[in-house]
Structures are given as C-alpha cells and as structure tokens.
Amino acid sequence: MRMLFPRLPGAGFLPTLILFTLSCQTVGAPVLPRPEPKILPPFSLFQHLETRQSDFRDVKTFARTKIFGKRLNQSFRQVLIARGDDAIRIDTFNLFRQSLGVLISEGGRTFMYDPEKNRIIREPEVWNMMRLIMGSNIDFREYIRVFSGGIPRLTHLKPIAVRLNPDKTFYHLETTDTGTGERVDIEIDAYTLLPKTITRMRGVLELYRVRWYDYRKVGPWDFAHRIVIELRNRDETVTIKYSDPVINHGLGPDVFRFAPVSME
C-alpha cells in the first residue's frame, strides 16, 4: 500500500530556495600577504627622508609635555610653534593654564619672557630660568626639526649603510654627521618608510634618542602625535603629546617676537 502524504504549500520551491541562498553567499577573497621588504640602497632611503622633510615648513600645535628624571617629574600644557630648523616658540602654562613663560629661539639666539616680572631674559640667564620653571634646562634648538617629524642636521648627514632588522619591520640606516663626526642611526618603518627612531652617538656615548609614535593623518601627511626625547647622558626623558596640530598654514611676522617689555 502506498502512503500518501499531504503536499506542503510551497514545498516544491524549497530545494530551489536552498540552492539560491547558498549560491548568493559571498566567499571572502583571500588576504594576500604584503610584499616582503627588500634592502634598499642607503642613498635611496636617505633621499626619501630628505623629500619628506622638505614637505614640512611649519607646525603649530597644543601639547602636553612631561619631563621625567632623577628627582624630576613635571607636567605642563604648552603651545608649540616650529619653523623649519631655525625657529621655535614654546608658550608654557601650568595645569591651571597660568602662563609660566615664553621661550623663543630664532637664528641661534634664544630669549625667554618672564610673565611674573614682565621682562625678557637673554642667554645665559635663559637656562637658569628654564630650570626654575621646568626643573631642567633643555636646549630645544637641537630638536627643532624633531617637532615636525624631521631629522636634526639632516643636510649634514652622509648615509653609510643600511640593513633590515631580523623580522624585517624596519630599516636601520647608519649615517655620519660630516660637521661633527658623530654617528646618527635612523630607524625607518619598512612598510610606510616613516621615521621611527634616531640615535645620535659621540664615540661610545649616546647623546640622545628620539622616538616618534602615534602617526595619524593631518591633511595629506602622516604625522606623529607623540614624541619621546631621551637624554641618556642626563638620564631625563621628555614626552610630548600633540593635540590638533596644524601644518604649513603659514606664520605671522610677529610669531617669534615679544611685545615691548623691559629687557634684562
């Protein structure tokens, strides 16, 4: 005897529906591995650094700065303005936004404004004033280019050799400063070609090390928003975190000038 089963409404379309559903499922494209970096000639990497550095004419930014060392732990709010590698202005405020002083260096000359006594101080008294305010007298003239992601004294550097680190994530570019004879090692991301670290050596003595972190887009540029300067010979570390940096918008003629006040 043949058993008869009632036909379910739409049952004839079920196999077709299952096949249609399966055929519509997208199969993810395989993720292709990034091409493995290859050794580049030292001059080629160096030329890339020169081209990138020439893109940055000036930078203006709010910053939170921390200076840490032996018996030293200071934090400040700052407004930082840098132009090329010859001029910098740093307005320093305490955490309550009260002005502590204004440092201006241009063309090798450095001055500082003392708001408490409404006076402008020349070198060498500037360094004593900096120590009173910040707990340290850091000569920022050496690092002007660092604040826009550049290499200090790049035009004086001569590329010597390059190698990839063992896991092939960054290039180690060895250079020599033709003016001072010091060795400057530069680490460059092997995939983005962005500078990561520079180390300046005088013989076996490490003078300083700079690290760039937290690259983000600012206009068309990848720009580091956190900079760490390690002063190994002084056992001090300066950490600067940027907020809302502005690049290449031009600077007014009075940015690196003080209003008329008493000068001492």
Q: Is residue 184 part of a domain?
A: yes
Long-range CB pairs of 226-234 (<8 Å, 24+ gap) are: 227/146, 227/147, 229/143, 229/146, 231/138, 231/207, 232/206, 232/207, 232/208, 233/205, 233/206, 233/207, 233/208, 234/69, 234/136
Positive or negative, the Cα torsion across 88, 221, 150, 215?
Answer: positive
CATH number at 198 reads 2.50.20.10
Number of separate domains in the chain = 1
Whether this prediction's pTM lies above 0.95 is answered by: no
Q: Is residue 223 part of a domain?
A: yes
**CA pair distance 79, 77, nearest whole angstrom:** 7
Q: Is residue 7 part of a domain?
A: no
Q: Is residue 167 part of a domain?
A: yes
Domain that holds residue 213: 42-258
Q: Is residue 243 part of a domain?
A: yes
**CA pair distance 135, 67, nearest whole angstrom:** 8
Tens of pLDDT along the chain (264 residues)? 444 434 444 444 444 434 344 444 445 555 556 777 788 899 999 999 999 999 999 999 999 999 998 888 889 999 999 999 889 999 999 888 889 999 999 988 899 999 988 999 998 899 889 888 888 888 888 889 999 999 999 999 999 999 999 999 999 999 999 999 999 999 999 999 999 999 999 999 999 999 999 999 999 999 999 999 999 888 899 999 999 999 999 988 889 988 644 334
Q: Is residue 209 part of a domain?
A: yes
Q: What is the pLDDT of residue 170?
A: 94
Q: Is residue 16 part of a domain?
A: no
Residues 48 and 193 sit within 8 Å (Cβ to Cβ): yes
Q: What is the pLDDT of residue 212?
A: 97
Of all helices (H) and strands (E), which one includes residue 130? helix 125-134
Task: Burial-class residue 105 by CB neighbours within 10 Å (0-12, 13-18, 19+).
Answer: buried
Q: Is residue 10 part of a domain?
A: no
Q: What is the pLDDT of residue 143?
A: 86
